[in-house]
Amino acid sequence: MTHNEKKLVGIMEELTMFFLDLGSKDIRSRINVKNGNADMEITADYPEESRERLEILNEYFQEPKNEALEDFYWELAGCSDTGESSQMMLVGMMVDRAEIEIGEQEVKVFLSKKLADR
């Protein structure tokens, strides 16, 4: 598995753990890699009492991308249990674009990441 692929898997793993912790029972994910770009999508149901956490998730994804720190922090992320906000901010730092659509019972997260040439 390449370094880029490991990062994609890690991003989806963090989002899956976030949604499981949220109380989601139906989580679906998709990764499409084409022309040096990865588009990721995760769709999940959620309990109504968790809506506020979803709205905060959008704030985490507005972190500016920081490629210089990306590799260093990603290695640390797998080694610690520093909490939801730091992990989701890290995901935000790793992607080029993030969009969240919060419906009444379902949320969709769209992420896009330009892949490094390696």
Residue-wise pLDDT for 82-95, tens only, equals 456 678 888 888 89
Q: From residue 51, how far is each of 22, 29, 41, 111, 113 by CA, in Å?
A: 9, 20, 19, 20, 26
Spatial contact of 114 and 98, defined as CB atoms under 8 Å apart: no
Reported as a single tens digit per residue, the pLDDT across 44-92 is 999 999 999 998 888 888 877 766 666 665 555 554 444 566 788 888 8
**Total tally of structural domains belonging to the chain:** 1
Write the CATH number for 93.
3.30.565
Distance, CA of 12 to CA of 99 (rounded, Å):
15
Q: From residue 117, how far is each of 4, 5, 37, 41, 110 by CA, in Å?
A: 9, 12, 11, 22, 22
Q: What is the structure's pLDDT at 82?
A: 45
Spatial contact of 42 and 27, defined as CB atoms under 8 Å apart: yes
Domain membership of residue 28 as a residue range: 3-114
